[in-house]
Amino acid sequence: HGATELDEVGTEAVPRRTPAPAWVPAAKGEEGDFCLRSSDCAAGLCCARHFWSKICKPVLREGQVCTRHRRKGTHGLEIFQRCQCAEGLACRLQRELGPADTSRLHTCQRH
């Protein structure tokens, strides 16, 4: 009887390492938390590369700068990925800003 009690205490004492193992049903990741895929993150966040790990970052809102991927394959080389535009928004070239050639800025705009 005494042994089982000790075992339980032993498991309690193990320090929790972060991030939690993938199989533990953890709370959804907040902004800046490590993640493996976007479903690990809370609503309004996506899982994007940040240096050599991946963290939850906010999904882009209307008017925010977004990344246009012209060539497939360049995506994997990015160290800082951005999330996609939020639902109902598209990543489009912003034309209103200054001379066309200086601002090749893409922003999230309504469809």
| Sequence spans of domains, the chain | 33-96+104-110
Q: Please tell me the predicted confidence (pLDDT) of residue 22.
A: 56
**What's the confidence (pLDDT) of residue 27?**
79
Average pLDDT over residues 66-88: 78
Distance CA 15, CA 35 (A): 20
Q: Are 20 and 33 in contact (CB under 8 A)?
A: no
Average pLDDT over residues 39-60: 95
Q: How confident is the model at residue 109 (pLDDT cuts 50, 70, 90)?
A: very high
Span 9-29, average pLDDT: 59
According to DSSP, the β-strands at 89-93 and 106-110 are: antiparallel
pTM: 0.62
Q: 104: pLDDT confidence band, cut at 50, 70 and 90?
A: confident
Pairwise CA distance, residues 46 & 29, whole Å = 9
Q: Are 78 and 31 in contact (CB under 8 A)?
A: no
The residue-averaged pLDDT of 75-101 equals 79
Nearest to 47 by CA among 66, 23, 28, 24: 28
Residue 72's pLDDT is what? 60
Please name the helix (run of DSSP H) or strand (run of DSSP E) that holds residue 7, with its range, or none. helix 2-13
Domain 33-96+104-110: CATH class, spelled out = mainly beta
